[in-house]
Structure 1
Amino acid sequence: MVFVESELGLHSELESVNAVKILIAGGFGVGKTTLVTTISEIAPLRTEEQLSALSASVDDLTGVESKTTTTVALDFGRITLSSELVLYLFGTPGQDRFWFMWKELSVGALGAVVLIDTRRLEECFSAVDYFESRHIPFIIGVNCFDGADVYDEDEIRAALDLSEQVEIRYCDVRDRESAKQILISLMEYLVAGANSGV
């Protein structure tokens, strides 16, 4: 799929555009901000703050010791897939103390990408539970961190107790093409679900 020019001109052109709200979710430090930043065609809105000594006692930095910032509200970006389809990307905060934001962010969302880090799989359990309990369609994006063990789809599906319908895709959210493919996979998953009546 080729991206089209993102600058939409006249108001009449905007009326024919379908805007789709997509959530980028997952646990602390899994790459949500990086995905939004990598793929957004506009300067992304980021609400990152420096990790403080106070947050160090609350946030588990095991496996992400070099992380120095955290999202405290949301990340926002936009990507135009065609002249008729624009995705608005909302990256959610990962820590439990910011979960009150999820309810507001999920209003009107068509679907979600749940990013996971196989080194810290337990970080995504809450996100998976959240979307399953609210019947918001989602796919799993396995963010392939340098040095992380590689597991096949069946192992990941079993570890997360996912149904066969939930798609699992591998990605490197630092790479624009890889980030683009994960969003395309989500859109294809949503269209297939709508066509099957699920």
Structure 2
Amino acid sequence: MKILVVGGYGVGKTTLVGAISEIEPLTTEADVTEASTDQDRTAGTEAKATTTVALDFGRITLLRHGLQLLLFGAPGQPRFWFMWDDLATGALGAVVMADTRRLADCFPIVEYCERLRLPFVVAVNEFDGSFPYLAEEVRDALALTERVPIRTCDAREPASVQAVLITLAEHALALHRAQRPLTH
């Protein structure tokens, strides 16, 4: 099953994929240059030295079921969004990573998932020094319905990432069941 990991620049997508992947993640990191800092919204990420320019890829195998989750991290800068459609094709759902210091970065990403009717959860990555907002405050700020799950997470911690992925799988399954007509 394919899972898309999306979010703004520097929100922790590569970190999330790397924290839980059972294989060495495939990353397409490039050095942040002066040209990119002029073009991309980098406020609050000054310490970031590299950025994803194509995708991150990781894999998790659920041993009980022999099922593999394929994680595709998409680049966060608008200049790379042209790749998102290819990355989203066939995805079970998406993890929308959010940084409460830069929630506005989530608006076009949430709109993208809604336009594709792609089930998604919002994973609020708790950065050191960021204010811990309640899920309902994040929901209101992003104008999300009650049906969209919101979870706080630490993208560096495998157990935290696992909880986000479980929430996404449960949410996608519930939406799938609700859309499927009942047969007798």
What TM-score does the superposition give when structure 1 sets the normalisation length?
A: 0.88
Match of 2:98 among 100, 113, 116: 116
Query: Size of the alignment, in residue pairs?
Result: 179
Which residue of structure 2 lines up, in the alignment, with residue 92 of structure 1? 74
Distance apart, 1:60 and its partner CA:
2.3
Cα distance in 1 for residues equivalent to 2:169 and 2:3? 9
1:55 corresponding residue in structure 2: 36
Normalising by structure 2, what TM-score?
0.94
2:59 maps to amino acid: R
1:157 aligned onto 2:134: no
**Deviation above 4 Å: which 4+ runs of structure 1?**
none
Shift of 1:175: 0.7
Note if 1:70 corresponds to 2:48.
Answer: no
| Residue 20 of structure 2: aligned partner | 39
Deviation at residue 26 of structure 1 after TM alignment? 0.6
Within the alignment, does 1:135 sit opposite 2:117 as a pair? yes
SS at match of 1:110: strand
SS in 2 for 1:94: coil
Instruction: Determine what percentage of the aligned residue pairs are the same residue.
Output: 54
Residue of structure 2 in register with 1:9 after alignment = none
1:109 positional shift: 0.8
For residue 177 of structure 2, what is the aligned residue in structure 1?
195
What is the rounded CA distance, in whole Å, between the counterparts of 1:120 and 1:93 in structure 2? 16
**Offset of residue 197 of structure 1:** 2.4
Q: Quote the Cα distance in structure 2 between the aligned partners of 1:105 and 1:195.
A: 24
1:78-103 deviations in Å (ceiling 9; x for gaps): 00123332100000000000011001
Specify every segment of 5 or more residues in structure 1 that has no aligned partner in the other structure, as ranges.
1-19
SS at structure 2 position matched to 1:33: helix
Structure 2 counterpart SS, 1:186: helix
**Partners in 1 of 2:37 and 2:45 — Cα distance?**
12
Q: 1:61 offset after TM fit, Å?
A: 1.9
> Amino acid of the residue matched to residue 25 of structure 1?
V
How much is the aligned-residue C-alpha RMSD, in angstroms?
Answer: 1.1
